[in-house]
Amino acid sequence: MGLPSLALAHSAGDVLVRAGAITVSPDDSSDKFLGEEFKVDNDTQLGLTVGYMVTDNIGVELLAATPFSHNIALPQFGNIAKTRQLPPTLMAQYYFGNKNSMWRPYVGIGLNYTTFFHEKFVDSPARPLLSDIKLKDSWGVAGQVGMDFVFNKNFIVNGSIWWMDIDTKAQFKLDGKHQSVKTHIDPWVYMMSVGYRF
């Protein structure tokens, strides 16, 4: 495009730190419990990614965030439980363009680990029968597309979307009897961020 060759954009050895709003939007499905599937709502937190450019086109990135909080509902009872979770994700990425490109679209594939904590039942018509909930941690693949706009030597603006295969087993008691309900959370994850390049 006749832009001056300033080596402005990402190149081998760069460290990219991005921070912004990240939303986890579950595309959930589960085994039937009392004839219905669990519904898991969205949550938005502060997301942070740290990336390293191995070459001008290949990067690795780790995603972290402040803990997400989700309500778990059954349509006939409304919200019956809630949980918190952290979904650290490690990605291998390919960045299109070259070290002079102001726009660096990228794709990534990687591994997600999600840990659930502070699971608990909340007040609902079903509450008297429910106790002892625990959600199993999840390992799964993650895919990603994103775009960096290289604003200047140090600053970037980023948008990215992940899909994460997050599956858990909800273990709890119904009227004292053990229950195990396999649940796919499988969220789309959206992040808008600003970044700094070292």
Please identify the residue of the shown chain whose CB is closest to the bound Ni ion: 184
Query: 31 or 167: whose CB is closer to Ni ion?
Result: 167
Binding to Ni ion (CB under 5 A) within 147-176 occurs at: 165, 167
Shortest Cβ 195–Ni ion spacing (Å)? 30
Contact 30, 72 (CB under 8 A): no
Please identify, using beta-carbon distances, which residue of 16 and 189 lies nearer to Ni ion: 189
Output DSSP code: residue 109: E
| Binding of residue 14 to Ni ion (CB under 5 A) | no
Phi/psi of residue 21, nearest 5 degrees: -85, 130
Alpha-carbon torsion (56, 57, 62, 63), positive or negative: positive
184 near Ni ion, judged by CB under 5 A: yes
> What order of strands is seen across the sheet that includes strand 177-184?
29-30, 177-184, 167-174, 130-135
CB of 26 to Ni ion, least distance (A): 10
| 37 binds Ni ion, rule: CB under 5 A | no
- Residues making contact with Ni ion (CB under 5 A): 165, 167, 184, 186
